[in-house]
Structure formats: structure tokens, C-alpha cells
Amino acid sequence: MKKIIKSGKADLNEIIRKKFKYTGINEYLRKRHGAPMDYFDKHGLARKYLEEEFRADNSLKPLRELHRSRGLYKDHLEDMFDVNYSYDLWADKNKYGLVDVENEPIMLKTDAEGYTLGLYPLAAQDDGLFAIDFVAGAFSNFRNYYNNKVGLGNISDQNTRIPRIEPKKAWVPFNDDYAAHVQNLYETFISYIHSAGYIKEIDSFDTFLPIYLDFVDLVAKEVVLTKQAYAKSELRSYYSSGLIIDLKDDYDFDDDKEKISFIQDKNFLKYQKIAKSFGFRIDRNAPWRLIANLESAYMEEQMKLLGASYTESPDHVNIFERYYKRLNVSSYNRYKTVAISFYNKLATTIPASRTPLGAKDSIDRNPVSISYVNKRYNDLFWLNAYFSTRLIEEKIVLDDNQIYFKTKDAYLLKKNIDIKAALGYLNREIKLLRTYSYKKAASKNKCT
């Protein structure tokens, strides 16, 4: 297919031919744009078309016009640059680096103190820019190669948006990302108990917990709450994968004009070709963003230098085992600690709960420890609560008896094996129930 972009510049003749397939095209365009009878500037009209059509950003109104402009950009992707050099994180690659080969949510491994493992600095360590070590190695080689080409004069550094390759944004900690989400939920919870009058009923953790779990059931219908669900949601940052590096930090990926301007840059074709040779793909919706291509031969070489591999290899550890972990256990543990932290924060910031009738002093809320909660509420209780919330998040309906029997089975697995086995069982049940629900819905739609 002939590409609209040639040497980093738009082939305006091609734009005209592809966009306007009419007899008497010159006259049509002249009238549309009010050009004089004796003048027809085809190239000027094509540039005007680019400016008019590729103008989507989130401020564009009405909504249908934003949708139309977004669709136009997507439709022209193949014409603007080679999609074999890119990934679409808004479509088929929307979970790239966030789930494993079995579509289970994952995060980078951490040590006992919570520090993320397997990272390496992209520039000076003080800059705080990190990626997974094999990605950092590939990026360093790419940057050195490109910048050397600039130094030799093979790539221009004048009047270009890509004069040199330098990282501007990279890995962000998943746990910090999720903690910010939990803080937003806490603020919603405080508003909820005040507006509903429940604040007066909470004088201990025991009175807090049923109110909190009712809130969780209510919120989970609309907003993800557990760490497991958050890890697969659109709220999660792609940067937490450790596979993504941005070369610009002042560009807005919501603005299609900036994307088009970057793609039209005279250095763009060289940039995307060199990036591919070093194992990177470009984000179609943010062409200044590099994504490590785990299937590329070059990236595989970088992995093997560090004892890992994406493909089957008897001499190397699979990257999902080496760098990542599933979230079943940490999600369950966090579910419990979030409940405790919500109560303790409430007890600390608003210690006085109420004054009983006839009493002189109010009853104060006191913070509780994890050991205190564990003595009063065992794993059967928490497994039941956690499983119920996960079902709501997954839009799966089960009656209380079914939930109890499944969590009872999980509890027995926990007692006889460990909590990982118990949560693995519940996770498999959710996947089976989800598959059954999808098939049932599809069958119902087919019948109607």
C-alpha cells in the first residue's frame, strides 16, 4: 500500500486522491474552500484538510464530533505510518504488559520491604527513570545509536521534534498507583457515612465493618475496588509494566494535532525504523512512546544476556516468572488491610463517635491492630467477603448459599495447603462463572 507519509512529510496528492474520489475534483474542492475561479492550490487544500480533520482532543464538542475525529485518525493510521512498527494500546494491546499469557493480571515483583525488583535506570539514577533491566539495556543501545547518527550528520537535529533520543517518562510503581485509588475510595466512603448518617453508629471496628462492607458492595458495582480488579482496569497505568518509555513529557496524547505533527516530522521514519531494529514498537496513539516488543529477536537477545527469555528455553527463566507475579494473594491481603486502614484513619481523624443518652462523656473510636482483627475475624469470613466483592466486580450473580459453599471449599484448601491454593481456586471459579455468563448472554442474544 502506498503510504501518505513519505520521508516524514505528507504526500498531499495522495491525501487528495484518497479523501475525495469525485469527477471534477478540482472544481469541487475550489467551491468547497471558496478558492478563486482561476486558482487551485491542491497542496494548500490538502494541508487545510489535515488541520481541519485531525483536530480531536478531549475538549472537542459535541461528543459525536470528538468520536468522528478519533475514528478518522484511527482510519488513517495505516496511511500515515507503517502499523507493523507500532502497537495500539487502546485496542488489541490494551492489556500489554499488565497480564500474563493466561490473561491473569500481574505486577513487577517486590522484595520484603516493598522495593520493586528487576529495574535499571534509564539515565542518571537521580532522574528516577527506570525500566526492566533488559528494556533499559535495549533503550541505551537505541539511544546511543540514534544520537551517534545525529552527531555524524546522518540524522538532522535542526527544525525537528526528534533531534535526539532522551527518556522523559517511564516506570511508575503499581502499588503507589493503587494506593492513590484507595485514597479516593476512602474520601468517597467518608462522604457516604456522613450523608447516610452512619457516622453516628460507628463506635468500634465491629460496628464499622458491616457498614463498610455494605459500602463496598455498593461501590463495586460501578468502580473497581480490589487490587486484582484494579490491575486489569482502564484506571491502571501502562507505565507500571516497566516496558514503556516516553520521549516527550510535554505532549498531550489526547490531541491528534500533536500526533500528526510528530508523525510528519522529517526524522520520524528513521526514528521508527531504528526503534524497531532495537526491539521497540511505537504507540499509535502517542508516537513519542516506545513499547518493548517482547517477541522481537533483539529484545530476546537482551533478555538472554540477563538469564531470562520470552520464548521456551531450557537455559533461561521465563520473563513472567523472573520479573512478575500474579496478584491473587496480595489482592486478598490488601482487601483486609484496606478495611482496617479505613477504620483506623476514621478513628484517628474523628475519634469521638457519639454521646449515649444520660452519659457525660462520648464514646471514642480506637484504632485496631491486624492481630486484633485476625483474632475476631478468621479467613473464612474474609474469603467470603473478598469472593463476594470479586463477584460483584465481575458482574457475576450468585446466591449467598453458593458463595458460602465455594468459600468454605477455599477455606479448607487454605487450612490443608495454603492461602495461595485457596485464592487460586476462587479465581478459577470466577473465570468459569464469567465464561458461563458470557455464553449464556450470547445464547440469549442469539435467540432474540
Assess contact for 290 and 130: CB atoms under 8 A.
Answer: no
Q: Which has more confidence, 216 or 126?
A: 216
Kindly give, in sequence order, each residue whose CB lies less than 8 Å from that of residue 256, ignoring residues fewer than 6 positions away.
54, 55, 56, 57, 69, 70, 73
Q: Which has more confidence, 356 or 144?
A: 144
Which residues is 246 bridged to in the sheet? 169, 289
Give me the pLDDT at residue 213, please: 97
Burial 186-205 (b: 16+ CB within 10 A, else e): eeebbebbeeeebbeebbeb
Mean pLDDT of 272-301: 95
pLDDT tens digit string along 307-364?
Answer: 999 988 888 999 999 999 999 999 999 999 999 999 999 999 988 765 554 455 566 7
Give me the pLDDT at residue 262, please: 86
Give me the pLDDT at residue 285, please: 86
What is the share, in percent, of the chain residues with pLDDT greater than 70? 74
Nearest to 140 by CA among 154, 124, 161, 116: 124
Please state, in angstroms and rounded to a whole number, the distance separating the CA atoms of residues 288 and 173. 21
Task: Give 225's pLDDT tier (boundaries 50, 70, 90).
Answer: very high
SS3 230: helix
- Distances, alpha carbon 371 to alpha carbons 245, 337, 365, 382, in Å: 42, 11, 18, 14
Give me the pLDDT at residue 56, please: 45
* The three cell numbers locating residue 270: 528513521
Q: Which has more confidence, 18 or 217?
A: 217
Q: Is the pLDDT of residue 166 over 50?
A: yes
The runs of H, that is alpha helices, within 306-369 are 319-322, 328-349
The 280-283 sheet, strands edge to edge: 86-87, 280-283, 286-292, 244-246
Q: Is the pLDDT of residue 200 over 50?
A: yes
Kindly give, in sequence order, each residue whose CB lies less than 8 Å from that of residue 49, ignoring residues fewer than 6 positions away.
15, 19
pLDDT tens digit string along 45-98?
Answer: 454 555 555 454 444 444 444 444 555 556 556 555 666 788 888 788 889 999
Task: Give 414's pLDDT tier (boundaries 50, 70, 90).
Answer: very high
Give me the pLDDT at residue 440, please: 58
Please state, in angstroms and rounded to a whole number, the distance separating the CA atoms of residues 343 and 213. 12
Handedness of CA 104, 110, 111, 112 (dihedral sign): negative
Give me the pLDDT at residue 75, please: 57
Number of C-beta neighbours around residue 9 at 10 A: 13
Residues in the chain: 448
Q: Which of 60-74, 161-175, 251-265 has the highest mean pLDDT?
A: 161-175
Task: Give 21's pLDDT tier (boundaries 50, 70, 90).
Answer: very low
Burial class of 343 by CB neighbour count within 10 A (0 to 12, 13 to 18, 19+):
buried
Q: Is the pLDDT of residue 4 over 50?
A: no
> Could you tell me the pTM of the whole model?
0.80
Structural domains of the chain sorted by starting position, each given as residue range(s) with its CATH number in brackets: 5-82 (no CATH), 106-172+237-326 (3.30.1380)
Give me the pLDDT at residue 260, please: 79
Give me the pLDDT at residue 187, please: 95
Give me the pLDDT at residue 241, please: 96
What is the share, in percent, of the chain residues with pLDDT greater than 90? 62
Please state, in angstroms and rounded to a whole number, the distance separating the CA atoms of residues 406 and 384. 9
Give me the pLDDT at residue 426, please: 96
Mean pLDDT of 29-36: 55
Angle at 182 between CA 176 and CA 187, to 5 degrees: 130
Angle at 271 between CA 267 and CA 274, to 5 degrees: 140
- Omega into 105 within 30° of 0, i.e. cis? no
